[in-house]
């Protein structure tokens, strides 16, 4: 039984590592296609439609919503959500879960910063930026960070409704970055893939499974 348990554990760890490796490979593939111009029609087309929608009356109200979503998903917003969640976990004596969440987010943030420096992709200039940005564009830090943050919250809550709510918030924040003109759609997709791969990798050690 012990030998089987160890074998099962190694299989799970291998699957987690494989998920992360596959995600990073997909991010690389998206980056290469983007640089080769294969995604130009998709990127320019979708962002162009966002630009047209921004200019009408309803678009101004949508822009306000997108700004709010982007603020929630920004680094400061994620830190606030993280601090509140860690406080709740620690107050309910879920110390292992709190430690896992903190380490998962810290590691994921470093991973995104490293990838941004490796690809060093400039921000799109098709539309006027409705947000202040200073970092590289690929992969989207908002998309990756919130995939990790809200995905982890859904895992820890372990409720079907939590997964739906997390998915909706992740999608809204990702869309907001294209609407605000600061990310190509492919930047956002790459961020989602990166964040999901890292989350699946860390899922192997999810303390919530041990109560």
Question: Which residues does the annotation mark as catalytic?
Answer: 142, 183
Crossing angle, helix 57-72 and helix 75-91, to 10 degrees? Answer: 50
Q: Where are the beta strands (DSSP E) in the chain?
A: none
Task: Enumerate residues 6+ apart whose C-beta is below 8 A from 142.
Answer: 70, 73, 74, 173, 174, 176, 177, 183, 188, 191
Widest Cα–Cα separation across the chain = 66
Crossing angle, helix 160-179 and helix 185-203, to 10 degrees? Answer: 150
Copy the structure tokens of residue 9.
Answer: 């554990």
Is residue 180 within 8 Å of 131, Cβ to Cβ? yes
Nearest to 43, CA basis, from 201, 181, 192: 181
């Amino acid at each position: 039984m012990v030998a089987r348990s160890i074998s099962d554990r190694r299989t799970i760890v291998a699957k987690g590592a494989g998920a992360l490796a596959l995600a990073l490979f997909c991010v690389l593939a998206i980056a290469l296609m983007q640089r080769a111009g294969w995604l130009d029609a998709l990127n320019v087309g979708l962002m162009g439609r966002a630009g047209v929608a921004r200019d009408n009356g309803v678009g101004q109200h949508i822009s306000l919503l997108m700004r709010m979503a982007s603020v929630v998903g920004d680094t400061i917003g994620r830190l606030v959500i993280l601090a509140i969640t860690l406080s709740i976990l620690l107050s309910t004596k879920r110390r292992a879960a709190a430690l896992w969440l903190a380490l998962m987010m810290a590691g994921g943030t470093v991973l995104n910063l490293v990838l941004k420096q490796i690809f060093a992709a400039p921000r799109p200039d098709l539309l006027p930026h409705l947000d202040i940005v200073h970092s590289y564009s690929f992969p989207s830090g908002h998309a990756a960070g919130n995939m990790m943050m809200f995905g982890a919250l859904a895992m820890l809550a372990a409720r079907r409704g939590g997964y739906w709510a997390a998915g909706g918030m992740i999608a809204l924040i990702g869309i907001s970055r294209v609407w605000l003109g600061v990310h190509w759609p492919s930047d956002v997709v790459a961020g989602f893939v990166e964040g999901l791969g890292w989350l699946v990798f860390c899922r192997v050690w999810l303390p919530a499974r041990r109560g």
